[in-house]
Structure 1
Amino acid sequence: MSQLYASLFYQPQVTEIFSDRALVMYMVEAETALAKAQAEVGVIPQSAATVIQQVAQNVLDKIDFDALAVAAGLAGNIAIPFVKQLTAIVKAQDPEAARFVHWGATSQDILDTACILQCRDALAQIETLLQQCYQTTLMQTEIYRHQVMIGRTWLQQALPITFGHKLARWASGFKRDLDRLETIKSRVFTAQLGGAVGSLASLQQHGSAVVAAYSKCLGLSQPSCTWHGERDRLVELASTVALIMGSLGKMARDWSLMMQTEIGEVSEPTAKGRGGSSTMPHKRNPVAAAAILAAANRVPVLMSSLYQSMVQEHERSLGSWHAEWLAIPEIFQLTAGSLARTLDVLKGMEVDVDRMKNNLECTSGLIMAEAVMMALAPKMGRLQAHHVVEAACQTAIENQVHLMSVISELDEVKQHFTLDQIQQFFSSDSYLGNIQDQIDTVLQEATGEIQ
């Protein structure tokens, strides 16, 4: 992505993890672990592994990245020219050790393992941001748990809720995201080492032992078998990240709609130069929501390419594997950027409680029609109560009067309820159901009181 847009869509730490320099660093880490593992098992001399590890400490400064980029276009992947450069750098220090660089491995082994290492570090950043969003949302849930506002369905005013309940639902989503991340780590963060066709025949009888040592060196799970052509681990990982992105998109959609001039219940944080218009001085646009929603539109398309890439040919594929190189970094970067934007909004969101109260009354009591119907239902049956209240609503709309004034004049209502009771039906505070119980449960989950 252009650096002009990076601050709008990305997050610096995750962007750095997926930079060209970082990718090569992770490939160096994989090659170093390979040499160390093979020396431990006795496949290559310990002296060679020692030299390779020593060279790796400052090899990035000796890599010709421009030449690497040109050669990658000819070779079909970056690993082939990278191994040539690494071998040459090792050879300059110790020709004998250079013979054992990349011993028995194939390009995909190094690139897959580097990708896993990238994803592991990027996911740690995402998890930190996710945890911060979760904790901030819990705090805001406590603050606004009793702040009544209108709940909306199909973009129409429906029934009263509280702003704390909306926040609690967001917090509950963050909790599920965190739980998902925890459950997949041991499964997806798995080393890749299989050689040309996954058999590690080049290592003869030492293949399994090398894989075990290699995985341990990298702090990754040991695979039961090679997974060159089976991409479910990476797709599961990306899918889990994409789920986070989808949830963030839902939240951004909510608060951007609540920022509409006619609603005005919340606003994104203020800052000099933020949310302005090039032509309308009065504008205060939801710029964080715009970036998050753009990312939420983009990530599903990227995921589609990953799902399609699962259909691969035989032991190693042509093209399908390569598509991951474009999609996975973008999914992680867009999600990390969106988490950072969301955290900023959650921390600094401006809430207009007066507008929330005013918006509860903009239908002149119609939002309490269900409450009135449910009060009448035990007296005359639910269907008859529905007919009575529906007709009253129509009368209130036609005469442009408050629904309570129509309901309080109906004989079938007055014979069962006093005026004070009827007035209570129209108190939004009295028709919130089990919202506070739900909020309590979300808060208790966060403290571990509910397992």
Structure 2
Amino acid sequence: MKMTPDTLFARDTLWQSWLDVEAALARAQADLGMIPAWAASEINAAADLDKLGRDALDADVKRTMAPILSLTRLLGKAAGKAGDYVHWGATTQNVMQTGRLLLLRKADGEIRANLGRAVARMGDLAQEHANTPMAGRTNRQHALPITFGFKIAGWIEEMERAEARLTDATTRMLALPFGGAVGAMHAFGPQGRDLNRRLAADLGLRELLVPGRTANDLFAEYVVQLALLAMTVERITTEVYTLMTDEIGEVTEQLDKGTVGSSTMPQKINPKYVVRSISLAAELRSFAAPALETGRSSHEGDSAANHLLSSVLDRAVPLAWRMSESFAETLTRLNPNPARMAENLARSNGAINAENLMMALAPKVGRAAAHDVVHHVLEAGCVADLATAPDITAHLTPDEITAALNPALYTGDSEAIAIEAAQVARGLSAKLGA
């Protein structure tokens, strides 16, 4: 069955992940001669939830309140005589944390693939609209002309930073926390370090010098990076949501036929996808604080901290998976409206280009004086007066003034930046596995 955010940490999924760890442990121990090879083979054959019986395991867990004890007990029974070698020298938290780590790796792959889809769409938009003029905004006011592709370029570069941070955290997190009762491999004698090395290689994880039960910072960092990713997703989608307002209307969502916006207002077609992305991102951000609490574990083992860690991971990671899916879907359905961008850009009748006029005048009178001249004309409230103001016409021709106030001619390096960002997006999307 295909894994989903809803089944990632479901009971059966977790139980099977623990069985997978027990099977890998037996393989590694057989390789080192710690247990017989035939026993490892039998344990591996029996390490299947279908063979153990879900109802029997559920009943035993309810009785013992010790899931790994119940699981290894039934695994031992299913393995026959090889059951004497099940869970050899391991402790509960070793198995639980390692099993959850294997599931985290699967979820991380899905999250990255969804982000790859989102970034690929950004790259297409940046390329297609590299030269589509629009109003740049600072403090939610018109600032200078840019292109829509330039705006997307900013999103791409921010996503590149988010991916780098998340990748670093994931690399650190995917380390085997399997060191016996306190992390020093006591029960495995002189072969403890070799066992840890073999088990890590079998599971595709890196080694820890101290594979203890309180290395919660590795998991906490990952959740914090998911929260930072959510911050980026929320920033982008909130900006999209704003651009969708009727008064701006520079982008819309592509909705399926039959979509209804309101039960009482027939004219309304409300955004459907972007609002879900915003909501999921805001919720995911909230897990940063409890994630940091999980790192405050004590000594060589702390069940309270580990219970909190499991709770945070079980909620935050599936949420990140859903958010990444929603984010990719939102961008896939994003439709720019160049005509409305041009209309909004023209609303100031050229005043948005005041900086350009100032810089054309500056070589003649100095930058500060040029600023004051243009500012005072606009302060009087009439852009048309820029073409007749004596302090300007004394130095610039009518054609020079007209050209200086044309927004389409003053987008800086927007186009070049957008095209370069599109290339970055293609590389990043491939890296993310889209």
Paired residue for 1:30?
21
Q: Which residue of 1 aligns with 2:203?
A: 218
Pairwise mapping of residues 279-290 of structure 1 onto structure 2 (< 5 A)?
279-290=264-275
Question: How far has the Cα of 1:66 moved from its partner?
Answer: 4.5
Shift of 1:189: 0.9
Task: Give the 3-state SS of the residue equivalent to 2:5 in structure 1.
Answer: helix
Paired position in structure 2 for 1:366: 351
SS at match of 2:145: strand
What pairs with 1:381-396 in structure 2 (closer than 5 Å)? 381-396=366-381
The corresponding residue for 2:431 is none
| Whole-angstrom CA distance in 2 between matches of 1:60 and 1:291 | 41
Alignment of 1:6-405 (within 5 A): 13-59=4-50, 62-64=53-55, 66-67=58-59, 70=62, 75=65, 80-94=66-80, 96-272=81-257, 274=259, 276-396=261-381, 401=382, 403=383, 405=384
What are the ranges of 5 or more consecutive residues in structure 1 without an aligned counterpart? 1-10
1:60–1:263 CA distance, 2 compared to 1 (3 A): farther
Q: SS where residue 134 of structure 2 aligns?
A: strand
**Residue 417 (structure 1) shift:** 0.8
User: Contact 1:13/1:125 (CA < 8 Å) preserved in 2?
Assistant: no
Let me know the Cα RMSD of the aligned residues.
2.3
C-alpha separation in 1, matches of 2:118 and 2:202? 33
**Cα pair 1:14 1:125 within 8 Å, conserved:** no
Aligned residues: 426
Following TM superposition, by how much is the alpha carbon of 1:14 offset from its aligned partner in structure 2, in angstroms?
Answer: 3.4
State the AA in 2 paired with 1:367: I
Instruction: Please give the alpha-carbon distance, in whole angstroms, between the structure 2 residues aligned to 1:275 and 1:98.
Output: 60
> Which residue of structure 2 lines up, in the alignment, with residue 7 of structure 1?
none
Identity of counterpart residues, as a percentage? 29
Cα offset, 1:126, TM superposition: 1.1
Query: For the structure 1 residues 17 and 174, does the alpha-carbon distance in structure 2 shift closer, same or farther, using more than 3 Å as the test?
Result: same
CA distance in 2, matches of 1:253, 1:12: 30
Tell me how far apart the structure 2 counterparts of residues 17 and 201 of structure 1 sit (CA, whole Å): 32
Distance (whole Å) between structure 2 residues aligned to residue 119 and residue 92 of structure 1: 28
Q: For 2:389, which of 410, 413, 437 is the aligned residue?
A: 410
- Mapped contact 2:126–2:419 kept (Cα < 8 A): no
> Alpha carbons of 1:236 and 1:274: their partners in 2 closer, same or farther (altered >3 Å)?
farther
The Cα offsets for residues 428-447 of structure 1, whole Å up to 9 and x where unpaired, read as: 12211122232233234356
Asked if 1 retains the 8 angstrom alpha-carbon contact of 2:223 and 2:287, the reply is no
Q: Are 2:135 and 2:344, in contact at CA under 8 Å, matched by a contact in 1?
A: yes
Bigger drift between 321-330 and 177-186 goes to 177-186
* Equivalent residue letter for 1:67: A
Residue 442 (structure 1) aligns with: 421
CA contact 1:269–1:345 (8 Å) conserved in 2: no
CA gap of 1:293–1:353, structure 2 versus 1, over 3 A, is: same
Confirm or deny: 8 A CA contact 1:48 1:100 kept in the other structure.
yes
Q: Residues 124 and 68 (structure 1 numbering): CA distance in 2 closer, same or farther, change over 3 Å? A: farther
Q: In the superposition, relative to structure 1, how do residues 361 and 238 fare at CA in structure 2: closer, same or farther (>3 Å)?
A: same
Deviations 1:58-89 (A, max 9, x none): 54661236436745xx73xxxx3243234224
Secondary structure at 1:362's aligned position in 2?
helix
What SS class does the counterpart of residue 313 from structure 1 fall into?
A: coil
Deviation at 1:183, TM superposition (A): 4.1
SS at match of 2:144: strand
Contact kept, 8 Å, 1:371 with 1:431, in 2: the verdict is yes
Please tell me the residue identity of whatever aligns with 2:70.
K
8 Å contact from structure 2 (residues 251, 336) kept in 1: yes
Partner of residue 3, structure 1: none
Name the counterpart of 1:4.
Answer: none
Q: Does 1:426 align with 2:405?
A: yes
Instruction: Tell me if the contact between 2:5 and 2:319 (Cα under 8 Å) persists in the aligned partners.
Output: no
Q: Distance in 2 between matches of 1:240 and 1:347?
A: 24
Supply the distance in 1 between the matched residues of 2:52 and 2:259 (Cα, whole angstroms): 39
- The residue that corresponds to 2:432 in the other structure is none
Check conservation: 2:68, 2:92, Cα contact below 8 A: no
Q: CA deviation at 1:377?
A: 2.0
Deviations 1:33-56 (A, max 9, x none): 111111221222222221110111
- Return the letter of the residue paired with 2:21: A
SS in 1 for 2:85: coil
SS in 2 for 1:30: helix
Asked if structure 2 preserves the Cα contact closer than 8 Å seen for 1:197 and 1:316, the reply is yes
For the structure 1 residues 93 and 339, does the alpha-carbon distance in structure 2 shift closer, same or farther, using more than 3 Å as the test?
closer
User: Aligned pair in 2 of structure 1 residues 378, 182: CA closer, same or farther (>3 Å)?
Assistant: same
For structure 2, the 5+ residue unaligned runs are 429-434
Q: Between the two structures, name the one with larger relative contact order (CA 8 Å, sep ≥ 6).
A: 2
